[in-house]
Structure 1
Amino acid sequence: MLPIIEREVVQKWKWVGSEEFVDLIAIAQSTPGVIAINSATIIGYKVAGTGGALFAAIGAALPSFLIILLIANFFLQFREYSPVEAFMRGARAAVVGLLFYASFAMGKKVTESWKTVVLGITGFMAVFFLGIHPIAALIGAGIIGAIFFKE
């Protein structure tokens, strides 16, 4: 969803700039909930206030909700069927690939200095290898960023 949102919001409609988009996504990730809905809500609010936030959240959530509802009605009946099982295995792999793409695309935008690269790698290692909670890593990186990038 993030590449689609970025293409629409930054490139097509030019509601926010590329750097501001990354900042808004960082805020959306630090709040509980689905990132696509959170980011759509934040961008909707920035563009059109409370009404924009409401309609953006509905627009981001409703299509997925309806599709999942439709699939759920049939999935339980057919999940043991080998083509469905094979499809789900492939879809899982594609989701991982899309997450890598989104991470790489966002990473290219925020790595303007060696400090941001080191901070990003440190945050990844803290979460992945040390088991630090992602919110704690985010808060820690924010504090370190406030110290290192103070103007």
Structure 2
Amino acid sequence: MLIQLFLTFFMIGFISFGGGYAIIPVIEMEVTKNGWMTTQQFTDVIAIAGMSPGPIATNSAIFVGYELAGFPGAIVSALGMVLPSLIIILAISSFFYKINEHELTKSAFYGLRPIITGLIAYAAINFAISNHIVTSLSFHSLSLIGILFISLVFLIRFKLHPLFVIMLSGVAGAILYS
């Protein structure tokens, strides 16, 4: 089990472009495909990992590893997740300054942007659906979507601090759902 955990998270860590939120769908697919957790269990892991300090993908790997194999599982999952990044960074840093301004490098990174955005959006939508946040067009679902869009306006248009927007969303939730 420990070898399988390490290899799975090593592979995920190796293809992790765009940060933790972008790679959540890949982790979920591997975890559910291997029968390690259900989608609902993994959603709970993401909720805890998101609230914990540190990168969400690594936190998720640690929680999955711990759930499956205790402390040793948490260690090998974390190592599997972070070793590829460490290896790649060490290799690239030695010659990145030479290729940084190359047109092909710029184009490749530019081409990765839309898929990273799409993976983050997919993770958010999948999280909302699997937690039954959005199920049908009820007042509850529509008001949650409203809070989402109003929050986005406050963040993008008015450039409010995210902590302030989180507090406002909490107040709105307390008013609407108590």
TM-score by length of structure 1 reads 0.77
Letter in 1 for 2:34: W
SS in 2 for 1:16: coil
Which amino acid in structure 2 is aligned with residue 104 of structure 1? I
Indicate the residue corresponding to 2:28 in structure 1: 6
Give the Cα separation in 1 of the matches to 2:45 and 2:163.
17
- Find the aligned partners of 1:40 and 1:8 in 2 and give their Cα distance: 11
What is the alpha-carbon distance in structure 2 between the residues aligned to residue 37 and residue 26 of structure 1? 13
1:72 has 2:93 as partner: yes
Matched residue SS, 1:129: helix
Q: Which amino acid aligns with 1:23?
A: D
What's 1:137 paired with?
166
Calculate the aligned-residue CA RMSD, in Å: 3.1
> Which residue of structure 1 lines up, in the alignment, with residue 53 of structure 2?
32
Whether the 8 Å contact between 1:127 and 1:134 is mirrored in structure 2 is: no
Structure 1 window deviating more from structure 2 (37-46 vs 121-130): it is 121-130
Question: Structure 2: which amino acid aligns with 1:85?
Answer: K
Go from structure 1 to structure 2 and tell me whether the alpha carbon gap of 1:116 and 1:38 turns closer, same or farther (over 3 Å shift): farther
| Farther-moved stretch of structure 1 (14-23 vs 99-108) | 99-108
In the TM superposition, residue 64 of structure 1 has moved relative to its aligned partner by 2.3
| Residue 143 (structure 2) aligns with | 118
Q: What CA deviation, in whole Å up to 9, does each residue of 1:31-67 have, x standing for no partner?
A: 1211110111111111111111111111111112212
How far apart in 2 are the matches of 1:69 and 1:124? 41
Unaligned runs of 5+ in 1: none
1:103 aligns with 2:132: no
Larger RCO (CA under 8 A, 6+ residues apart) = 2
Q: TM-score, normalized by length of structure 2?
A: 0.66
Contiguous gaps of at least 5 residues in structure 2? 1-22
Instruction: Flag the 1:36–1:82 CA change in 2: closer, same or farther, 3 A.
Output: same
Structure 1 moving runs of 4+ over 4 Å: none
Q: State percent identity of aligned pairs.
A: 34
What does residue 91 of structure 1 align with? 112
Corresponding residue for 2:65? 44
Aligned 8 A contact 2:36 2:68 in 1: yes
Aligned residues: 146
Distance 1:72 1:96, change over 3 A: farther
